[in-house]
Structures are given as C-alpha cells and as structure tokens.
Amino acid sequence: MLGRTANSIFWMFRYLERAENTARLLEAGSRMALTRGPDAANEEWRSVITTLGERQAYEACHSEYSGTSVCNFVLREKENPQNVLGMIEAARSNARSARTSITAEVWESVNEAWMTLRSALQRPVREAILGPVLTAIRREATHVRGATYGSMLRNEIYHFSRCGTYLERADNTARILDVKYYLLLPSLAYVGSSLDTGQWDTVLRSLSAERAYRWLNAGHMDPRGIAEFLILDHRFPRSLAFCYDALRGNLAALAELHGDRGECHALMRDADRALSEATIQSIFDGGLHEFLVGFIAGNQGIANAIASDYRFID
C-alpha cells in the first residue's frame, strides 16, 4: 500500500477517536455543570477548556466560561483550530484520499457521519439540543468503528487504522487524567465529601469509565484506585495498558507482514516494559504528572516512528 494512503488511514482514525473523546469530555462537563451551582459550573467549563489545551485560543475570543459558549467553541467555532466539526471533516477528507483502501461500508459510514454532524453543527448549538448532538458524535464514531471492524480485511490497512485509534486514545486518556488530577489536587483534603466524589465521577465519565469502575469497586471512589484503573487495568478499553496491548498487537502484525521491524517496534518494546513494570505505587512515588507527561511524549515518539518507518511522507 502507498505510504500516503497509510498516513491518511492513520489520521482518519486518529481524528475520529479525538472527536469522540472530545464529545465525551463535553458530556461529562455538562453533567457536572448541571449537578452543581452556576459558579462551580463555570469552573467546570474552564476545566474542560484546560483539558483540551485550548485556554489561550478560547480566551482570545471569549471573556467568560459558560456552557453554551464553551460547547460551541469546542464543537464548531472557526476561531478554534481544533473544533470537532473540523476533526470530522479531516477524518472524512482523509477517508476520501484513502477511498480505495477502505470498504464501501466504512466510506459510507464516515461520509454519513460528516453529513449528519455538518448539518447538526451548521448553526450554534443551543443548550436544549446539546445532549443529542454529543450523542450523535459518539454514535457516528461508533458506527465507523463498527463498519471497520465488521467489513475490513485484516491486512496492513486495518493495522494502520487500529494504530491510529489506540495511539490517539492513549494520548487522550493520559491528557484527561493529567489535567483533571492536577486540578483536583487542592481538593484532596476533601476526600470523602460529596463534592469530591462528584469531581472524580467526572474524570470517569469523561472516559466512559464510571460504570465499569463503580461495578469493580462497589461504588467506592478512591483517587488512587481511579488512576490505577485508567492507567494499568488491562480490561478497560480506554486504559493506557489496554491501548498499548492493542497497539503492540497491531505493530507486531505490521512487522510480520513486512518481515522487518522498525524504530517504532523498538520504542514500543521500551514503552511496554515501562508500563508493565509500573505499579500505582511506583507511579505516585515518581509523581503522576511526571509519569503522564513522559507517557504522552513516548506515545508521540511511537507515532512519529510509525510515520517514518512506513514512509507516510516523502
């Protein structure tokens, strides 16, 4: 397959994953804002923007943090170069570039996602329809994933798509955990209060992890346990450990197809070792923030190595 096409496939799935995770973050923020007073709600929306790393861009065109303005900024405003509609457009245009490498089902699902969301985000989103819009984003992304899983040949193309998905997901989980945890630190003194429980609930909800975590822990919210779950639990599909299990498998499949291992495989092996040797104790001893920053950089390194090993660009 062409290196350029591999690049398009990789980014198509990164953008879809990113759009979906951004929608999740807004859903969690929105729920949080509804269950608390207006001041705390604005604080919550600020934290959403911080998590996305978009404070500067946001504050350049908005003077206050409110649900509608944050959501519209994140979802559709052109002043935000990382808006969700732009991600969907980028996913679709990458799919269009790689049209001959995906099945008609995958193409149609991503094309439909674009048509649906473009019309849903054509005008500013009112509070009343925010919920359905966010659901639609998640649903459309899920639809593409399902079509991919159900119709694509398990060849190189499929493995590049999965690499894109899991690298992006690992990055998103690490970022959410990093920012949220950091923001919550001052309130660690309130451990056990309802306020605190609510905030941890948001972290979990941002990653669609609240049900799984509650089920595993009989409803007990423990900051350390949550971090352990999101980083090290191999069963949870958005945890770092899970993402790297999947990434490792797809990279191994690529190595087998090419009969050759590249720099990305070496980096993967190192990252794998670091993750498998880590315990939640060792992570906290070294500093959670330091761990996550290191992880994000390593993740980026693997992505770059994939791009150069497989000739994504000239």
Partner 1 sequence: MSITPDPKFDEMRQADGSIRPAYRDYVTWLDEQDQSLMRRKNGEAESFFRRTGITFNVYGDEDGEERLIPFDMVPRIITGSEWRRLSRGIEQRVRALNAFMHDLYHRQEIIRSGRVPQRLFSNNVAWLPEMVGFTPPGGVYTHIVGIDLVRTGPNDFMVLEDNARTPSGVSYMLENRETMMAMFPELFSRIPVQPVSDYPARLAKSLAACAPAKTTGKPVVAVLTPGIYNSAYFEHAFLADQMGAELVEGGDLRVVDGRVQMRTTAGYQPIDVLYRRVDDEFLDPLTFNPTSMLGVPGIMDVYRSGGITIANAPGTGIADDKAIYSFMPEIVEFYTGEKPLLPNVPTWRCAEADSLAYVLDNLAELVVKEVHGSGGYGMLIGPTSSKKEIAAFRDKLVAKPDNYIAQPTLALSTVPIFTQAGLAPRHVDLRPFVLVSPDRVDITPGGLTRVALKKGSLVVNSSQGGGTKDSWVLDD
User: Which range of residues in 144-152, 186-194, 216-224, 306-314 is near partner 1 by CB under 8 A?
Assistant: 306-314
Listed ranges 25-33, 94-102, 191-199, 243-251: which one lies at the site for partner 1 (CB under 8 A): 94-102
Stretch that binds partner 1, among 1-9, 19-27, 82-90, 182-190 (CB under 8 A): 1-9
Nearer to partner 1, 73 or 107 (CB): 107
Burial degree of 280 (CB within 10 A; 0-12, 13-18, 19+)? middle
Least separation in angstroms between CB 254 and partner 1: 8
Q: Which of 34, 60, 104, 266 binds partner 1 (CB under 8 A)?
A: 104
Nearer to partner 1 (CB atom), residue 108 or residue 222: 108
From candidates 44, 54, 140, 156, binder to partner 1 by CB under 8 A: 156
Are 117 and 140 in contact by the 8 Å Cβ rule? The answer is: yes
Question: Among 105, 110, 79, 83, which residue's Cα sits nearest to residue 94?
Answer: 110
Q: Identify the CA nearest to 85 among candidates 134, 149, 151.
A: 134
* Residue 4 near residue 314, CB atoms below 8 Å: no
93 lies in the site for partner 1, by CB under 8 A = yes
Q: Largest alpha-carbon pair distance within the chain?
A: 59
Q: Which is nearer to partner 1, 67 or 164 (CB)?
A: 164
Q: How far is CA 282 from the centre of its chain?
A: 25
CB of 160 to partner 1, least distance (A): 8
Number of residues that bind partner 1 (CB under 8 A): 22
Instruction: Determine, following the binding rule CB under 8 A, whether residue 107 of this chain makes contact with partner 1.
Output: yes
Q: How far apart are CA 262 and CA 250, in angstroms?
A: 13
Residue 3 near partner 1 by CB under 8 A: yes
| Whole-angstrom distance, CA of residue 28 vs CA of residue 47 | 11
The least CB distance from residue 299 to partner 1, in Å, is 21
> Phi/psi at 173 (nearest 5 deg)?
-60, -45
Site for partner 1 in 108-137 (CB under 8 A): 108, 111-112, 115
Looking at the Cβ atoms of 75 and 95, the one nearer to partner 1 is 95
The distance of Cα 235 from the centroid of its chain, to the nearest Å, equals 17
Q: Give the 3-state secondary structure of residue 233.
A: coil
Say if residues 97 and 8 touch (Cβ distance below 8 Å): yes
DSSP class per residue in 152-211: S-SSHHHHHHHHHHHHHHHHHHHHHHHHHHHHHGGGGGGTTSHHHHHHHHHHHHHTT-HH
Question: Is 90 or 183 the residue whose CB approaches partner 1 more closely?
Answer: 90
Q: Give the nearer residue to partner 1 in terms of CB position, either 91 or 240.
A: 91
State yes or no: residue 96 binds partner 1 (CB under 8 A).
yes
User: What's 54's DSSP letter?
Assistant: -
Residues 8-47 that bind partner 1 (CB under 8 A): none
- Indicate the residue among 165 and 239 with the shorter CB distance to partner 1: 165
Contacts (CB under 8 A) with partner 1, residues 251-280: 258
User: What residues make contact with partner 1 under the rule CB under 8 A?
Assistant: 1-6, 93, 96-97, 99-100, 104, 107-108, 111-112, 115, 156, 258, 310-311, 314
